[in-house]
Structure 1
Amino acid sequence: MTHHLFSQAWAARLPAGLESGLSGAALALLLLPAMPGVLAPLPLAVLHSRLARSEGGRSALRDAFTFALSFFTVHLAWLPTSMADVLGPLGGLLTVLVLPAAALTWAVPLALTRLAGGPGTLLALPFAWVLLEALRTTGPLAFPWGAPGYALTDTPLAQLASLGGVSLLTLLVTFAASVLAGLGGRRRGAAALILLAVWSAGLLWARLGTRAAPEASRTAVLVQGAIDPRVKARGRTLEELDVYLTLTRQALSSGPAAVVVWPETASPLPASDARVRGPLRRLNVPMLLGAPGDVPGEVRNSAYGFDERVTGRQDKRVLVPFGERLPLAGVLGFLYTPLLNSLGMPGYTSATPGKRLSVFPLGDLRAGVSICYESVFPGLSRQAVGAGANLLVVISNDAWFGRGQGAEQHFQMGRVRAIETGRFLLRAGNDGVSAVVDPRGQVVFRAPRGERAAYRVPFGVTSTVTPFVRSGDWVLGVSFAFLLLVLCCRRSARSGP
């Protein structure tokens, strides 16, 4: 049996479950902003080592689930608290159920990889990670929080996202974990050289394969209204609109701006409503703002472009599960009805998802907009840039996250969209995070959270087409093909002479 570096360091002292649990928690901590995310392969190597040495699917599932549950318990520690603030103690308690559900989205695919990969498990695992993270971005329960690749956001290796998206970053982190997990084998030197070569190539691309960020020669105004979401929940009023209009006028009194950005649901009425349209026209500046949709009889969360008139509307396409819509409501309605009554939300109505992409023309700007949760889905920003967007904009309301790490994680993931597409990103949040991110993912400006203000900020526009925009998530296709090859080779070996 192969003796692994991490097994020797941990297993002699720790029970198996505690080893997996501590490793999962360590990975969660390394995904926190300002932590050395480049170390993320280390706790993952412990998991990969255990999976490769497991006796079968049951033990692999146990180890993977323990690791994942520990990870998500730490990574999503803010979730029950924030939901309790919005929905009360029962709502916070029910949110705890997200943790084992999220853990299963890692544990089941990883255990299946062990069953299918056999002796080649360590080689198959990195590609399985890419596939499972792609699956977590699809379907009615899509929740891609916590992908390992985001650990590299604040490292030079993050520039590889312009080549292959966050999938390539995840592949890089998990490949390093598999190499480290096999360092005790007979081919230790070869494995170490492969790891060194791959990471060196990544650093070389970061230095030579990407362009320097263009000059931020334009001015935008980001407006942060800091309106308590619980006040909004009790009923929208025109006083909210007045807050944003006043802050915008104050910022524009210092000089013109290329664009003004208000956050998600900033206006209580659609921008097409005369009570909103008139005051916006008098501001005399191109704008992007969040407001309700104007489709009668439907709840829609929308973004509007405004330049003397409404120039476009885009409805939020990816809705937050259990927040903006009830997944499988037609089947599970008998469960939702009493639950909503218990939470004091008997009249809850799921929002209607949008279907169309809009690239908003605002002078010579072509803005691709993501509404809050949409910013963690790489395909949406890629689609916008492919349709001609020379600027990315995120409008969000992260106030319901509270003061935990949720808003920071949301912002961290969104920064990678700027690298993937080679675009400046303007972000306006109700109480933050309001910021400017350049095409290399660097934060040019960031406003204090919770402050009510409007900020004049620098930004630029670009027309460069990155390999990721041009070719899409090719890493996913390669990973799927490789796993099929592993499966075919495994079956061939079993049926051989």
Structure 2
Amino acid sequence: MRPVNERVTFRAWRARLNPAPLPPWLGDALGGVVLGLLFLPSPLAVLAPLPLAVLHRRLARSAGGRAALGHAFVFALAFFSAHLAWLPASMADVLGPLGGLLTVLVLPAAALTWAAPLALTRVAFGPRTLLALPFAWVLLEALRTQGPLAFPWGAPGYALTQTPLAQLASVGGVSLLTLLVTGTASVLASPGGGRPPVLLAGLAVWGAGLVWGRQVTPPLAPAPRTAVLVQGAIDPRLKARGRTLDEFRVYLDLTRGALRPGAADLAVWPETASPLPASDPGALPALRGLGVPLLLGAPGDVPGQARNSAYGVDGGVTGRQDKRVLVPFGESLPFSGVLGVLYTPVLRSLGMAGSTSLTPGRLLNVLLLRDLRAGVSICYESVFGSLSRQAVRAGANLLVVISNDAWFGRGAGAEQHFQMGRLRAIETRRFLLRAGNDGVSAVIDPWGRVRFRAPRGERGAYRVAFDVSATRTPFVRYGDWVVWGSVLTLLIATLHPGHRRPGRPLCLTAAPAPEAGPDDG
């Protein structure tokens, strides 16, 4: 009996030294948190392919769709919880604790927009999941820009914003950057990803992109035109309690002060800077009296409709651009016809009884201000590359973003918004003038470089240099060709399944998943 007792004792001792394996979801959550911490506004976002490679490998080795959905959802929920941590906190400051608590619901909803398509990719492509995932990412991110719940925050392509690789956006928009980031993740996740030829091929692609990005970026040169960016730093909570003409006077005084040293080609006020439409008799004479072409945010002047608008003013009103993409649950109440019975008590609890959706704009209007043709994005619209592309195709020689990021509070939200908007300048090769209520007010040149940036939260008016351009990039000419190419690739892969030779695993083919085990979620 002695040997048996010794054997039992040894097993018990070994069990103490080797605790039970960690639950598989913990690894997924850790990967998502790492990606969230690496992502914008961190310059380390360029490392995004590393945690994404972990996700890709988990998806490819999943036993099926259910396991893949679990891995993807936990990863995405952890990512958005880190990436959007500022959102509940900022909304709690504005709307109270209930508002912050309700905003938490955005996190699982956003996670599902990643998890469901990625799990579907695993089901549809099986052993070729790693090959299909990069193209699936491009498609799902394109879908996240559509519809009343559009929310493209966190698209993988934005990880390259602060690198020379961002210049590829002039060729294929943020979709091309997403393809590069997620394609690299699949290469790293593949069984052959550690082999020298595969690593060298991946490094060659990144190296070529970096070299090309540096070559197409010219040295800094003086810009011949002058704009005045006006940052009123008005507390948004005061605006919510009721608009007053005091806000209007603040912007008038700041603009006059900035024009004393000399004339300017353009003055830009932020979103909702004026409580009155620019065409209102109580506002237009004062705006005209500034003696400078002006672009400002103000309420729309369509009777019976609440609109968030931008006006061009030069002697008179030269044009109006209404905000076309409204912030879900902020400026619009999606599916209110069906969900109205739910909205009513929630809005009442938030002290917003009677609130309704704004009327979205339907038309693109390039605002004419002498020889300037401004394509305007109002706040949230700056994360939708298609809008800036449409404006340039319609003749815009300058991009302008007017915003009120004071709603974001002091968290990372305003910085994320600003960094994403930088790609619009690269995609179109246009100067981008940005005026925010409390920031970020800045000038971005056609290569995405920040030429000027005002201090956040400071009230002031800033004279800045800019220029115009008539260049048409491949992205402007051909649009979302990367998206359509990805759709075609996925269709071809679906209709013509590949075959593997026994004993010879392909580089982007997943290893067979076990029938059951702790990794199957």
Q: Which residue of 1 aligns with 2:281?
A: 274
**Equivalent position amino acid for 2:27 in 1:** E
Partner of 2:146: 138
Contact 1:84/1:93 (<8 A) preserved: yes
- C-alpha separation in 2, matches of 1:214 and 1:483: 44
Which residue is 1:75 aligned to?
Answer: 83
Is the contact made by 1:266 and 1:430 (CA closer than 8 Å) also made in structure 2?
yes
Q: Which residue number in structure 2 is paired with residue 4 of structure 1?
A: none
Which amino acid in the other structure matches residue 85 of structure 1? Answer: D
Gaps of 5+ in 1: 1-11
Match of 1:6 in 2: none
- Aligned pairs for 1:182-201 (under 5 A) are 182=190, 184-185=191-192, 188-201=195-208
2:330 aligned residue: 323
* 1:224 is the counterpart of 2:214: no
- Cα deviation 1:47-85 (Å, max 9, x = unaligned): 001011111001100000010000000000011111111
Paired letter, 1:437: I
Matched residue of 1:44: which SS? helix
User: SS state of the match for residue 490, structure 1?
Assistant: coil
Q: Does 1:50 align with 2:58?
A: yes
Runs of 4+ in 1 over 6 A off after TM superposition: none
Report if the CA contact (8 A) 2:188-2:194 is conserved: no
SS of match in other structure, 2:34: helix
> In the alignment, which residue of structure 1 is the partner of 2:30?
22
Measured against aligned partners, the alpha-carbon deviations of 1:158-205 in whole angstroms (never above 9, x if no partner) come to 0000010000000000000000111x4388334223312321231233
Trace 1:172-191 onto structure 2 (pairs within 5 A): 172-182=180-190, 184-185=191-192, 188-191=195-198
Contact 1:214 1:460 in 2 (8 A): no
**Runs of 5+ unmatched residues, structure 2:** 1-19, 501-521
Trace 1:434-449 onto structure 2 (pairs within 5 A): 434-449=441-456
Q: Distance in 1 between matches of 2:359 and 2:499?
A: 48
Q: Counterparts of 2:256 and 2:169 in 1: how far apart (Å)?
A: 38
Give the structure 2 partner of residue 124 of structure 1: 132
Letter in 1 for 2:336: A
Shift of 1:17: 1.0
Q: Residue in 2 aligned with 1:352?
A: 359
1:155 corresponds to which residue? 163
The 8 Å contact of residues 407 and 433 in structure 1, kept in 2 or not, is answered as yes
Are 1:484 and 2:520 counterparts? no
DSSP 3-state at the match of 1:36 = helix
Which stretch shifts more, 367-376 or 336-345? 336-345
Assess if the C-alpha contact under 8 Å between 2:72 and 2:118 holds in 1. yes
Q: Which residue of 2 aligns with 1:235?
A: 242
Query: 2:228 touches 2:462 (CA, 8 Å); kept in 1?
Result: yes
Is contact 1:29-1:35 (8 Å) kept? no
Aligned equivalents of 1:477, 1:190: Cα separation in 2 = 30
Q: C-alpha separation between the residues in 2 aligned to 1:20 and 1:35?
A: 23
Once the two structures are aligned, what percentage of the paired residues are identical?
73
Determine which of 465, 468, 473 is the counterpart of 2:475: 468
Counterpart of 1:169 in structure 2 is 177
Q: Distance in 1 between matches of 2:182 and 2:30?
A: 18
- Which residue pairs with 1:32 in the alignment? 40
TM-score (norm 2): 0.90
AA aligned to 2:111 is: A
Structure 2: distance between partners of 1:351 and 1:214: 42
Q: Deviations over 1:79-99 (max 9, x none)?
A: 111111111111110000000
CA distance in structure 2 between the partners assigned to 1:466 and 1:207 by the alignment: 17
Among 103, 113, 116, which residue is 2:111 paired with? 103
Distance 1:187 1:490 in 2: 25
Which amino acid is the alignment partner of residue 278 of structure 2?
A: A
| Residue 339 (structure 2) pairs with residue 332 (structure 1) | yes
Segment drifting more, 439-448 vs 480-489: 480-489
Aligned to 2:390: 383
Classify 1:155/1:289 alpha carbon distance in 2 versus 1 (closer, same or farther; 3 Å): same
Structure exhibiting the larger radius of gyration computed from Cα positions: 2
- Tell me what 2:310 maps to: 303
Q: Secondary structure at the match of 1:260?
A: strand
* Counterpart residue type for residue 391 of structure 1: L
Q: Alpha-carbon deviation of 1:490?
A: 3.4
Residue 489 of structure 2 aligns to which amino acid in structure 1? F
Contact 2:40 2:419 in 1 (8 A): no
Q: How many pairs does the alignment contain? A: 481
| Distance (Å, rounded) in 1 between the aligned partners of 2:251 and 2:262 | 17
Change (3 A) 1:186 1:440: closer
Question: Which of these residues, 61, 65, 68, is aligned with residue 60 of structure 1?
Answer: 68
Closer/same/farther in 2, CA of residues 369 and 305 from structure 1, 3 Å limit: same
Residue number in structure 2 paired with 1:402: 409
More moved, 123-132 vs 13-22: 13-22
Give me the whole-angstrom Cα distance separating, in 2, the residues matched to 1:147 and 1:27. Answer: 12
SS of alignment partner, residue 43 of structure 2: coil
Contact 2:187–2:193 (8 Å) recurs in 1: no
CA separation in 2, counterparts of 1:129 and 1:465? 27
Distance (Å, rounded) in 2 between the aligned partners of 1:103 and 1:322: 17
CA contact (8 A) 1:118 1:490 kept: no
Partner of 2:98: 90
TM-score by length of 1: 0.94
- CA distance in 2 between counterparts of 1:260 and 1:432 reads 16
